[in-house]
Structure 1
Amino acid sequence: MAPSSVFHFPIRTLSNERVKLVPFDPKHHVETFFRLSEPHPELYAHMSHGPFPSAAKLKAEFYERGNKHPISFTNTDTFAFAIIDKTRPPSADDPEGELAGTVSYCYTSAEHLSTEIGFIIILPPYQRSHVATNALGLVLNYALNEPDEGGLGLRRVHWKASAANSASSRLAERMGFERVGFTPWHMRFVKGKEKGKIGNGKEPPPGSDPADLWRDTVDLSLGWDQWRSCARERTQKAMSR
């Protein structure tokens, strides 16, 4: 692992019998992702991204700032996966199944051996199924397993969920994450009311734009020691359901 604060992920596919994660290629995956997500702006209600008015705008999110790597959103410490549901028939997006969503590693540090899991979107046809737990299980195994086990050997994985999105926190806790903090006024959703965002329900700060909303955030963490002692087994059980 390079002695740098910037981490460059080995490009590889993560897979089990039901789900496959491949590098998200904007040229290949964006059209289907936009077609299935565009009627559902609520998918972006708790995050700073989106909703996007066109496939072109969604694609630009992968290219427009700084790094031009086609499988990174904006930074070299961020790596985006396309989630493929292998229980579905082969499709134009993948010979082993259908595009079911996306998940990313964010803010990854080689110095601190840590990462954050973010930009998790499971497309509506694949929600309330095996997809979310299996995709999350694959990225956790890859992040926290040792290199001789096929993993990256990271020591901590972080998760941030909107306080208004209890489903996100519950998913993280089901996989072994523990709540470690709470950040009020963590994000400002500029023109959030117009974009269908969900705020913290509090009186906004003085001088706020009436269209803006704010998000409070629940911080969750999963360390290598928790992973070894119980979370890896818990994750495997969740994936097998």
Structure 2
Amino acid sequence: MSFVNNYTPPAGPNLPILPESEMYGPDPYDVNFAFPLHLGSLESERVRLTPFIPAIHAGAYWEGIEPHLTEIFRYFPITMPATLAEFLSYIEKYYRSNPEFIMFAIIDKTRRDETRPELGGSVAGVIALLRASVAQLMAEIGYVVILPDFQRTHVASNAVGILLEYCLQLPTASPPGLGLRRVHWTVHPDNTASKRLAQRLGFKHEGVLRWTWVLPQSRSSEGNPPREGDSYAPRGGLDTVYMGHCWDDWENGGREMTQRAIDRQMV
């Protein structure tokens, strides 16, 4: 029996830019998420998480992040969108179209945005659930981006703590959660601040997965050097630190650790 392989690789590393009519998604915006959303469970005294709706949140987010792209994404192992159009296309392709992914806007309720009073605060960044599995009752908290004006405040600990609680609380709790058994956190080995934040919220170090990422061409000289003859040479690679917070951690002190982190005045 004969066979063929007609696979054609993508034309290039850049994300195709969607037509402007598709960048902002449908109206009303369909978050297309596999789990239920309980908005009352996604809020603390100072911070609220709400599904990231490009038409509402993208302008404020991009204004805050554009001057700091290199600094903010230095620990991200992928090519990050460099323009608002690229970012919107990225969200539409990799988040809204995938029911296991959802991105949230982080709203700092303690700071009023005079130009956008309808937000009930200021857009302080974004945070996401990745690979949220209904079958395995697990998810990853990731794509955590805190805008520079909100770093070293209460925002990061509140945003992560809110989402962690939402994942691990039982659906019968008040406010209700998703009842997941595991939430994990992956981090660049050199990102000390991210590891410290996760530890304060009860995540436990589980190990290092070696050579999990091939770095993009724009950062080919970073990371671990590839072996001689590597087909991706001279692009470096990265290891990934894995941390986890499971339901039994949560029930045995993790809930209290998370609440203490949320109640802190500074991260």
CA shift at 1:98, angstroms? 0.2
- Say whether the 8 Å CA contact 2:35–2:134 is kept in structure 1: no
Q: Which has the larger radius of gyration?
A: 2
- Say whether the 8 Å CA contact 1:12–1:22 is kept in structure 2: no
Residue of structure 2 in register with 1:88 after alignment: 111
Instruction: Report the TM-score when normalising by structure 1.
Output: 0.87
CA shift at 1:180, angstroms? 0.8
Segment of structure 1 superposing worse, 73-82 or 125-134: 73-82
Does residue 15 (structure 1) correspond to residue 43 (structure 2)? The answer is yes
Equivalent pairs counted in the alignment come to 225
CA shift at 1:190, angstroms? 1.5
Residue of structure 1 in register with 2:63 after alignment: 35
User: Which of 69, 76, 80 is the equivalent residue of 1:47?
Assistant: 76
Query: 1:63/1:98 Cα in 2 relative to 1: closer, same or farther (>3 Å)?
Result: same
- Say whether the 8 Å CA contact 1:164–1:199 is kept in structure 2: no
Question: Secondary structure at 1:63's aligned position in 2?
Answer: helix
Task: Report which of the two has the higher share of strand.
Answer: 1
Can you list the C-alpha shifts for 1:34-62, whole angstroms capped at 9, x where unaligned? Answer: 22111112211122444322111110011
- Say whether the 8 Å CA contact 2:102–2:129 is kept in structure 1: yes
- Say whether the 8 Å CA contact 1:108–1:116 is kept in structure 2: yes
Structure 1: which amino acid aligns with 2:181?
A: R
Give me the whole-angstrom Cα distance separating, in 2, the residues matched to 1:93 and 1:203: 49
- Say whether the 8 Å CA contact 1:83–1:135 is kept in structure 2: yes
Query: 1:64/1:111 Cα in 2 relative to 1: closer, same or farther (>3 Å)?
Result: closer
Does residue 229 (structure 1) correspond to residue 252 (structure 2)? The answer is yes
Segment of structure 1 superposing worse, 145-154 or 34-43: 34-43
Can you list the C-alpha shifts for 1:6-64, whole angstroms capped at 9, x where unaligned? Answer: 97122342111100000001222122212211111221112244432211111001123
Residue of structure 2 in register with 1:142 after alignment: 166
Residue of structure 2 in register with 1:60 after alignment: 89
Kindly report the root-mean-square deviation, in angstroms, between the aligned alpha carbons of the 2 structures.
Answer: 2.0
Give me the whole-angstrom Cα distance separating, in 2, the residues matched to 1:9 and 1:137: 18
Which structure 2 segments of 5+ residues have no match? 1-31
Structure 2: which amino acid aligns with 1:26?
A: P
Task: Report which of the two has the higher share of helix.
Answer: 2
Which structure 1 segments of 5+ residues have no match? 1-5, 66-71
